[in-house]
Structure 1
Amino acid sequence: MTTHEQDGADTTPRPPLLDMRQVTVDYQSRRGTVPAVRGVDLTVDAGQTLGLAGESGCGKSTLAMSVLRLLPRSAHLGGDILLDGENVREMSWGRLRAVRWASASVVFQGAMHALNPVRPIGEQIAEPLRLHRATTTPAAVRTRVNELLDQVELPVARSTAYPHELSGGQRQRVMIAMALACSPRLIIADEPTTALDVIVQAQVLDLLSRLVTERQLGLLMISHDLSVLAACCQRLAVMYQGRIVEEGPSTDVVRTPTHPHSIALADAFPTVGDPASRLVTPRDTTPDTPPLLEARGVSVTFPSRGGTTTRAVSDATLAVHPDEIVALVGQSGSGKTTLARTLLGLQQPTAGEVRFDGRRLPRSARALRAYRRQAQLVLQDPTGALNPRHSVYEAVAEGLRIHRVPGDETTAVADALSQAELRPPEEFFTALPHELSGGQRQRVVIAGALALRPRLLIADEPVASLDASVRGEILALLLGLRVDLGLSTLVITHDLGLAWNIADRVIVMYQGRIVEEGTVEQVLLDPRHEYTRTLLAAVPEPLTGRAGATPAPTSPSRQEPTEDPSEVTGV
């Protein structure tokens, strides 16, 4: 316990904000009892930031959700969880309801799923105030909502916006504002920056760190990325197979880890410019063969409120050749997802054209269905891509049935799951999405695309939710598929490390335009455009957690986009 002094007089030892003692969590499933957390001891004090690191499936999110008893009914919680000295396990439902939001709150990983899509964000921020502060007047609620928006650096005018009208970073800021609404003393942030580009990630981490300092909050932050945790946490705890295997000051755990799993996590972080992180051999990026996929002067505009239009993509020209991996990079709101949907025929261009194998993309539903068997999409969010009531087998077999692929279905499903590193595949056939970790769910999505044996894969942030070691396996899988099948891949990502890992060429997109293109070495080691240099400057260094040494320019490129029409699609 830590001694706290208040007003210079009170030196009475106070209990930690959070004190977890021998916490265990077991899940009951069709496969029997599955232990997720095994005897964990952790504490978080006021003004302290604790990072909880580990791979997907290690139990870190389960542990975090146990603090406020947010676990599903299939979970059995053991041990003691003391919140400000009060045992959460012994709280009545009425008391627990009062503690949630008011004493401790959670910033969830998927802001789009946590926010109500049909309610303005201002109303959603106000909801916990109305529920937990019965005496608050409407005028006081409005004032508090405006204060919260200002704290998370969002314009007050955006309070009337709907979630789909905000970028990913802005939605995450709304989640933080909701978590702060009732002035809790403890914030639990579960992968709050996983789906964010490096610029917005840096902004969110700075915001959390500042709020902890100014308001003397306790912060428990969960991530599979050690560099992210090192950027804002004083202490780190590493979790492996349900247990805490290492804990200490962030600098010590990241720089000199002692447990083999901690060492593996530290070593797995890709470093742009490090030859050891480059998983591919330099290739000829201008082959004599014509492009497999080509966009020529593509523009896409969307109607906006007030009768105006918003241009999401402007005069984009790119090509993906056979047996090539191209990375399309840019921050949230750059238009890269809209361009990806246009390349797949899911969105018609306002101007320009898309060609596949030398032919212009068809418009009829039947012809497009045939095209999409050859060009498959891997979605960023596995939770939204998978039907929660369908087993893994059904999820992978769905595409085979839609396209009436001949051959033995069971064999095809098993092969696809094996390629996606879910082995032995038969053990996953009957599993439902909620029984899998985030990384396993993403592999199921990838398996569904691979089952059709496409010629082209368009992968929208395919490893954003995966831990470092699993991320490496999936990237190695994509490389192996190129070698074995000649599979071409267009990877849409905000992760420059991914581009350095596996891409032959990099295309940089900013505010709907392609601003730089070239080989990986040309773009990432010798960037010519100011925006590319800004992206590189915001990448955390793996051993320090600080942004890179390249100075970030003072320009509009530092500003986060306010609206991305591609977000409306939910892709």
Structure 2
Amino acid sequence: MTPILQFRDVSVTYRGAQETSPGTAAVCGVSLSLGEGETLGLAGESGCGKTTLAMSVLRLLPSSARIDGEVLLDGQDVREMTFGQLRAVRWASASVVFQGAMHALNPVRTIGEQIAEPIKLHGRANGDLRMRVAELLAQVELPAERADAYPHELSGGQKQRVMIAMALACEPRLVIADEPTTALDVVVQAQILDLMGRLVAERGIALLMISHDLSVLSVSCERLAVMYQGQVVEHGPSGQVMTEPQHAHSQALASAFPTVGDPRFRLTEGAPSGPALLSAEAVSVDFTSRSGQTVRAVRGVDLAVGENEIVALVGQSGSGKTTLARTMLGLQQPTGGAVRFDGVPLPTGSAGLREYRKQVQLVLQDPTGALNPRHTVYEAVAEGLRIHGIADDERGRVTAALEAAELRPAEKFFGRLPQELSGGQRQRVVIAGALVLEPRVLIADEPVASLDATVRGEILALLLRLRVERDLSTLVITHDLGLAWNIADRVAVMYQGDLVEVGPVEQVLLDPKHDYTKALLAAVPSVERRVA
């Protein structure tokens, strides 16, 4: 039987700005195949060529890309297809679940309109189109009434399900899923992976899944291919590649997403318990919905971060952890209870809060969104100093902050814009912007969620080093239990606004007491939890 997808000695080169320049080789001599009902995971860190290879299947690469070799879809080389032929196979023979559903959906069109679009384009609107949309929503376990919702009214997991429904709309034989679980919490991630595995089993779809997380691919795919610098350096059964990787890069990827309970990935011995530096005492936060109903996002939470301590606040999206963090920063007023810093309640006036925020700084989740694209690195880091009127030795302070964030030599980065930096470098700039004020506490909101495997480890090691060198306390907000196991001294688990469990990492993650903590741990991907 002819495979649905074949790469035969495929190379992809991006032409340089000058016609005479040699260009950049993104993919080098890759040969892989994928048949009906098969699942193949394509792993590697950012820039390794995995997305370039996958996007070559439907010729979705920019005009500067040259594809050599053969990319065969149902035996036909897509490089030789006319635009009309390409248009006929896109969505119908092969479709893509794009990375970042929050950006891939049109914000001003309803979910139903967007799912119906490929059906209309390919003339598949036989019968009641609205009923067909409802069927597709049901396949991805969303109620039919969600068809009238706009993207901003859906959670991250729901938006990802909508993207999958769009990909299935014209019943393709091949689905390409590009980082389909990035930035999703472990519970939603498990649901999405289970859903995709079920669809493959029921419909015989060939699935090509791209990720930098080997643990996610090992759950979803029968085979794994690991890419490094444009080449496939390892290819084999997923369990074998995950547990017995042969190539050094495969080994690095496998170790970047640690197994909770594995002592090899415990990077800290735990800080001695000290007095509370930042604490929430019986904090509650209420919001009023559009219908006028009161929604309690945080319910009487008691949480403390001690001196020189790292606390991980974990829980799935919507559990209230970011609302609690905003309240501890003074960005949100509590409905009840109080926040204290060094034993003193947070000030209420703007002048007092400004002084407080010199001591407690925020590191945002998305470094790209956190940085002004028109500001240089120097301006981004110096901004806090200027806001607080600190004019003494600005250049020296900025230099010290960048070097503390491991951007060396600092002067090399002064004039660069965010788009000239890698994802890891951008996150380091955000951290430097927080460090320049010499705070005593960092609140880091999902600091590595959007970073690839290698950079993730570097940022976590940086946070640990800052704890030692600067006596810095850190509250890390995350849905990643592996991260908590890596670097935290204590773990606090939130569920529906309540703090349901808190204690030392080993106690909470190895001997959980609350059913929700047990459910979070059960949802973490592992080789044993295969769904396909």
Question: Do they superpose with TM above 0.5?
Answer: yes
Which deviations, in whole Å up to 9, do the C-alpha atoms of 1:381-405 show, x marking residues without a partner?
Answer: 2333234455545544444444444
Q: Would you say 1:136 and 2:107 are equivalent positions? A: no
Q: Deviation of residue 243 (structure 1)?
A: 1.4
Determine if contact 1:19/1:83 at 8 Å carries over to the other structure: no
Check 1:95–1:299 CA distance in 2 against 1; reply closer, same or farther (3 A cut): farther
Specify which of 8, 14, 25 is matched with residue 26 of structure 1.
Answer: 14
Specify which of 171, 195, 204 is matched with residue 207 of structure 1.
Answer: 195
Check 1:292–1:212 CA distance in 2 against 1; reply closer, same or farther (3 A cut): same
Specify which of 358, 368, 371 is matched with residue 383 of structure 1.
Answer: 368
**In 2, distance between residues paired with 1:146 and 1:216?**
22
Which deviations, in whole Å up to 9, do the C-alpha atoms of 1:365-393 show, x marking residues without a partner?
Answer: 45434433332222222333234455545
Q: Would you say 1:123 and 2:113 are equivalent positions? A: yes
Task: Map 1:188-227; keep pairs closer than 5 Å.
Answer: 188-227=176-215
Q: What's 1:146 paired with? A: 134
Check 1:395–1:78 CA distance in 2 against 1; reply closer, same or farther (3 A cut): farther
Determine if contact 2:4/2:206 at 8 Å carries over to the other structure: no
**In 1, distance between residues paired with 2:147 and 2:192?**
19
Q: Deviation of residue 443 (structure 1)?
A: 3.5
Specify which of 152, 174, 178 is matched with residue 186 of structure 1.
Answer: 174
Secondary structure of 2:90 counterpart: helix
Check 1:477–1:210 CA distance in 2 against 1; reply closer, same or farther (3 A cut): same
Q: What's 1:488 paired with? A: 473
Determine if contact 2:6/2:31 at 8 Å carries over to the other structure: no
**In 2, distance between residues paired with 1:407 and 1:85?**
68
Q: Deviation of residue 53 (structure 1)?
A: 1.0
TM-score by length of 1: 0.84
Secondary structure of 2:503 counterpart: strand
Specify which of 366, 371, 375 is matched with residue 356 of structure 2.
Answer: 371
Q: Deviation of residue 246 (structure 1)?
A: 0.9
Q: Would you say 1:51 and 2:36 are equivalent positions? A: no
Which deviations, in whole Å up to 9, do the C-alpha atoms of 1:465-523 show, x marking residues without a partner?
Answer: 23333222211110110111111110011111111111111111001111111111221
Q: Deviation of residue 220 (structure 1)?
A: 1.1
Secondary structure of 2:134 counterpart: helix
List 4+ stretches of structure 1 deviating above 6 A. Answer: 29-32
Q: What's 1:265 paired with? A: 253
Q: Deviation of residue 436 (structure 1)?
A: 4.7
Specify which of 155, 159, 167 is matched with residue 171 of structure 1.
Answer: 159
Give the root-mean-square deviation of aligned CA atoms. Answer: 2.8
Check 1:173–1:80 CA distance in 2 against 1; reply closer, same or farther (3 A cut): same
Q: Deviation of residue 413 (structure 1)?
A: 4.7
Q: Unpaired runs of 5+ in structure 2? A: none
Determine if contact 2:4/2:174 at 8 Å carries over to the other structure: no
Give the partner amino acid of 2:113. E
Q: Unpaired runs of 5+ in structure 1? A: 4-13, 548-571
**In 2, distance between residues paired with 1:433 and 1:20?**
37
Determine if contact 2:88/2:122 at 8 Å carries over to the other structure: no
Check 1:506–1:332 CA distance in 2 against 1; reply closer, same or farther (3 A cut): same
Task: Map 1:58-73; keep pairs closer than 5 Å.
Answer: 58-72=48-62
Check 1:218–1:292 CA distance in 2 against 1; reply closer, same or farther (3 A cut): same
TM-score by length of 2: 0.90
**In 2, distance between residues paired with 1:201 and 1:25?**
33
Secondary structure of 2:208 counterpart: strand
**In 1, distance between residues paired with 2:504 and 2:193?**
31
Task: Map 1:431-470; keep pairs closer than 5 Å.
Answer: 432-434=417-419, 436-470=421-455
**In 2, distance between residues paired with 1:236 and 1:119?**
37
**In 2, distance between residues paired with 1:371 and 1:450?**
14
Determine if contact 1:23/1:41 at 8 Å carries over to the other structure: no
Moved more, 330-339 or 426-435: 426-435
Secondary structure of 1:154 counterpart: coil
**In 2, distance between residues paired with 1:388 and 1:492?**
25
Determine if contact 2:124/2:170 at 8 Å carries over to the other structure: no
**In 1, distance between residues paired with 2:337 and 2:321?**
16
Which deviations, in whole Å up to 9, do the C-alpha atoms of 1:413-451 show, x marking residues without a partner?
Answer: 554444444455555555554555544443443333334
Q: What's 1:328 paired with? A: 313
